[in-house]
Structure formats: C-alpha cells, structure tokens
Amino acid sequence: MIRPFKSEPLVDFSKRENIEKMQVALAKVDKEKGQSYPAVIGGRQYMTEEKIKSVNPSNKNEAICYAASSTYEIADKAFEAAWSAFKSWKVKSYRERAYLLLKTAAIIRREKFYFSSLLVEEVGKTYGEADAETAECIDFLEYYARQAINLEKKGMEVSYTEDEINDTEYIPLGVGIAIAPWNFSLAIFAGMTAAGIVCGNTMIMKPASTAVMVGAKLFDAFQRAGVPDGVVNFLPGKGGSLGNYIVSHPKARFINFTGSREVGLHINKLAAEVKEGQKWIKRVSMELGGKNAIIVDKNCDYDNAARTIVASAFGYQGQKCSACSRAIIVKDVYETITDLVLKYASEITVGAARTPGIGMGPVIDLNAYNKISSYIAIGKDEGNLILGDMPEESEGYFIKPVIFRDVDRNAKIAKEEIFGPVLALIKADSFEDALDIANDTDYGLTGSAFSNDRENLEKARKEFHVGNLYLNRKCTGALVGIQPFGGFNLSGTDSKAGGADYLLLFTQAKSMTEKL
C-alpha cells in the first residue's frame, strides 16, 4: 500500500550541513557546464548543428549548456514515436503507470540538492527558492500517482434495469505536448508531463530554452525511473518556430501550456484550427500570467502584512506568476504600511544566486532585464520611486527591488505583468474600493487580503475574483494537493494543477452499457 500523500519537507538552510551539501552539488553542476543535450525521441538521440545556448543569469559570460535546436523533421519523428508508444502504454493499468511516477519522485528526492543546484545556476534561484521548487516537483509526482490510482476506481454507474451493466472508463487522449516556462522549469514541467503520462497518454516535452538543462535532467529522471522510450520525448528548440510547428501539428491531440499570456493566446488560436488529416478538436490547457494584488485593510497585523508583501513581491525576483505586483492599501494605514514595506524591502541583498543567504538572485536573461528596465522607466512617470532605480550593468542580470508609491489604479505598471522585482503601492479609499481596484485587471490568478474584520474577509471570499485567494498570508507558494493552482480570466483555463480534478483534463470518459 502507498502511504497517504504528504508534502515534501523543505531543507533548513540555517543548518551549516545543508549549505555544505548544496555546495557539493553546485560543484557537480559546475563540472557539467558547457555540455550539449540532444533531442531524445523514442529513445534515440538527435543532435543538430545549430544549437540553443543556455546562460548563467548570475554570470552572463558563462554557458550553462547547449542543446539541439530541433528541426521540423525531428518534431515529426517525435509525433511518430509518441503515437507508436501510445499503443502499448495506453493499455497499462493506472497503478503500473503511477508507480513509475513514484520511482521518478524517489530519484529526484535522493538527488534533491543536485536538482536544486541546477535551478540555482541555470535560472538564478536562491537556495530556499530552488529547494521549494524541487519539493514541489516531488509533490506533483507523488500526488498525481495517487490521483491516478483513484481514477481507476472511479466510474461504476448504477444499472437502469437488472439485466444491464453500466460503467464509465477514463481513457487517455493520445499524444500531448507539454510546453514549459523557465521560471518553474522543474516542478511545473514535471507536473504537466506526469499528469499526461500517468493517464496513459504519451508526451512531447518542449522545455524553455533558458532552462534547457533542467528540462534535460528531468527527462533523464523519467528515463532512469523506467518510463518506456517514446512515452516521454524530449524536444528542445526555438519557442517561436518549433513551438508554432508542434502546436499546429495535426498529430497533436492536446497541449498543456504554462507561460505568458501573449504566447498562450497565440497557441490557443493555432490549436483551434483543424489541419488536414486531423480527426479531433485539440484540447488546450493553459496557465498564464497574473497581476496579483495584496489588499491591506486598516484593521490587521501591519508588520505581518508588510513582511508578506515584500516576500510575495520580491521572492525569486518577482518572477513568479503568483507574485504580488500591486499592494492596495486602505488610506488610513497607507503611510504606516508604506514605511514598513520600504524598511523590509531595503534589507534585501542582491547577488549571485549561489551565494548562501542571498536575498535575491538575477532575473532570467537580457530580454527580461530590458523589459523590466523599461517598466521602471515608465514607472518614474507614473508614480513616486521610493526604492531602487534603473539597474546598472554588471556580470549578471541583477535588478534591486524597486518600489513606486502613489501609483494610479489605471497606470501601466498597475495593469501590465512586469514579471520582475517591481512593486506598485496603490491607495484605496476603503476595503470595498481596494477590492474594486484589485479586480480591475484582465488577469485573475492569485490575491491576498489582510484584515481582522470578519465581514471584510467574507467580502474578499465572495468578491475577490482570483483562482487562488489567500487571507492573512502571502499570495505565493501554493502547495500541491492543498491549494490547487490556476487562474481566472486571461490568467488561464483554471486547470487547477495539483488539484483533485486535474487529471481528468488528460482523459476522455467512455461510457459503456452491456445488456446481460
């Protein structure tokens, strides 16, 4: 029997021994830098002349790795291999497939410092942020394994007459594509892929180019666990051209995408078109961006609210879809909260992600650095800058915490996803006004409200229109199996990753009746 699901414990980095384990793992990653990773299709490797290069965001002169820039021909082979593997994979029991997820989880757990070190070096996570992601990756694998076993038991229907048996079986869809973002290139990628395969689908894994080594090592863990060739296929390549090709492909049955709104909506459009030879409507699940707010009421724990705003806004440099980018503060406590937020944010240290105890690492790459810088410039016209400034040229893509106060609810920096360490402080007339401002966005991913007023908390429960609402706590850090995750409106299709219904998205229900 499998033990009940429980969240993977986090590593305590206040202990010297854990810092040392991390440094040993970082040294191992250092030795592997500069290697090349091929596409792996049906167990066969394909390297291309043209390669993708992944760079260390803490040290932009250092190449983390190179990877195949997969061609359309390689992509075609991936669809062939995946459909061929589907024939035998789809008839395996949920239990048999689930055990392979548990095995993958066990491998990653045993090597957790190594996986976390990869995240430190390739995507610039601090030790704590990297460990939390590795734990989330393990949780997704463990949780979906258990959910799959439950799914097998589901579906016995009542009989209409005595001489009739009715049942419903949840069968897989076919070949799916998992397209991952770089910011949760291990956990989200693992979850999107594992959910597909455990239901009997076969998958093409398309990693983000800035996190291609993390993707390659995750794929390797699936292989080492014994997931058969062709059931998962690793297809690195250029987001734009290769991405367009695979999502438009007539042999793609479903697409599981996590990334930006712009790319997500583009994929949704491409996927809607039925290509010659295509026999189905592609199923698309997508989790996109956010413009998340924390509301602060006049009656609450001010210190806790301010610390939480800072943690939610600047954790992983603000590069979480769930990050707080607007603090909406009721006017009575605006000055108090602003002072406290400024105080705590000023204490954050910024530097190479591998530095033990550092508060913030770099942003992911030059594009992000330029985009965030342009929003800082816009913010200077839209609000009063009270912390940080335009970033200075250095060895990595470092941007110190930036805070603007007195930002208008309609300002660009109050409306658009910046995806970096930039926080807008907005004054509200009342709690109701704060809710109205919070909801005045195209997005609807996460939100949080701090209040000791029961009525206001109830108002937030009813009216704060977000997929993940938190009361008197931070708006980041959803846990698998505890806070199913997914957004409303243009934040996505609300697929609720890590939730009890998630796996159903990758199945179709077959209803069967037998007359006895």
Among 182, 302, 431, 450, binds ligand NAD (CB under 6 A): 182
Tell me the window of 92-100, 159-167, 281-289, 333-341 that interacts with ligand NAD (CB under 6 A). 281-289
Q: Given the structure tokens 């190449």, which residue do they identify?
A: 63
> Of residues 199, 300, 321, 324, which has the active-site annotation?
321
The helix (run of H) or strand (run of E) holding residue 313 is helix 302-314
Least spacing, CB of residue 285 vs ligand NAD, in Å:
10
260 binds ligand NAD (CB under 6 A): yes
133 binds ligand NAD (CB under 6 A): no
**Cα(469)–Cα(293) distance, rounded to whole angstroms?**
10
Burial of 85-116, coded b for 16+ CB within 10 Å and e otherwise, reads bbeebbeeebeebbbbbbbbbebbbebbbbbb
Measured in degrees and rounded to the nearest 5, phi and psi for residue 435 equal -65, -40
Among 318, 383, 420, 487, binds ligand NAD (CB under 6 A): 487
Least spacing, CB of residue 60 vs ligand NAD, in Å:
17
Beta strand ranges found along 42-160 (DSSP E): 44-46, 51-56, 59-68
Tell me the window of 61-69, 82-90, 240-248, 406-414 that interacts with ligand NAD (CB under 6 A). 240-248
289 binds ligand NAD (CB under 6 A): yes
> Of 244 and 430, which has the nearer Cβ to ligand NAD?
244
Tell me the window of 73-81, 86-94, 201-209, 434-442 that interacts with ligand NAD (CB under 6 A). 201-209
Whether 488 contacts 465, CB under 8 Å: yes
Least spacing, CB of residue 513 vs ligand NAD, in Å:
39
Whether 260 contacts 231, CB under 8 Å: no
Is residue 197 classed as helix, strand or coil in its secondary structure? Answer: helix
Among 38, 236, 243, 391, binds ligand NAD (CB under 6 A): 243
**Cα(375)–Cα(422) distance, rounded to whole angstroms?**
8
Residues 356-395 interacting with ligand NAD (rule: CB under 6 A) = none
> Of 330 and 490, which has the nearer Cβ to ligand NAD?
490
Tell me the window of 47-55, 85-93, 243-251, 376-384 that interacts with ligand NAD (CB under 6 A). 243-251
**Cα(32)–Cα(242) distance, rounded to whole angstroms?**
27
DSSP assignments along 351-364, one per residue: --TTSTT-SB---S
Least spacing, CB of residue 179 vs ligand NAD, in Å:
5
> Of 263 and 309, which has the nearer Cβ to ligand NAD?
263
Between the CA of residue 509 and those of 167, 271, 369, 401, what are the distances in Å? 10, 22, 46, 49
Among 54, 147, 223, 258, binds ligand NAD (CB under 6 A): 258
Q: Rg for the chain (alpha carbons), in Å?
A: 23
Least spacing, CB of residue 466 vs ligand NAD, in Å:
11
**Cα(186)–Cα(138) distance, rounded to whole angstroms?**
10
Least spacing, CB of residue 105 vs ligand NAD, in Å:
20
Residue count at the site for ligand NAD (CB under 6 A)? 32
The helix (run of H) or strand (run of E) holding residue 82 is helix 72-89
User: Which residue type does 346 have?
Assistant: S
Q: Quick one: three-class SS letters along 398-414? A: CCCCEEEECCCCCCHHH
Among 194, 205, 267, 353, binds ligand NAD (CB under 6 A): 267
**Cα(287)–Cα(5) distance, rounded to whole angstroms?**
24
Among 492, 496, 499, 507, binds ligand NAD (CB under 6 A): 492
Among 176, 259, 315, 383, binds ligand NAD (CB under 6 A): 259
Q: Is 347 a catalytic residue?
A: no
> Of residues 129, 136, 287, 417, which has the active-site annotation?
287
User: Which residue type does 380 have?
Assistant: K
Q: Which residue is nearest to ligand NAD (CB)?
A: 243
Among 26, 67, 218, 288, binds ligand NAD (CB under 6 A): 288
Half-sphere exposure of 96 (CA within 13 A, CB side): 10
Is residue 249 classed as helix, strand or coil in its secondary structure? Answer: coil
Residues 400-459 interacting with ligand NAD (rule: CB under 6 A) = 417, 419, 445
**Cα(474)–Cα(491) distance, rounded to whole angstroms?**
19
**Cα(258)–Cα(184) distance, rounded to whole angstroms?**
9
Q: Is 137 a catalytic residue?
A: no
284 binds ligand NAD (CB under 6 A): no
Half-sphere exposure of 53 (CA within 13 A, CB side): 10
Encoding tokens for residue 129?
A: 């942020």
User: Mask: binding to ligand NAD, 292-331, rule CB under 6 A, as x and -?
Assistant: -----------------------------x----------
Task: Give catalytic residues, as residue numbers.
Answer: 287, 321
Q: Where do contacts with ligand NAD occur on this chain (CB under 6 A)?
A: 179-184, 188, 206, 208-209, 239-240, 243-244, 247, 258-260, 263, 266-267, 287-290, 321, 417, 419, 445, 487, 491-492
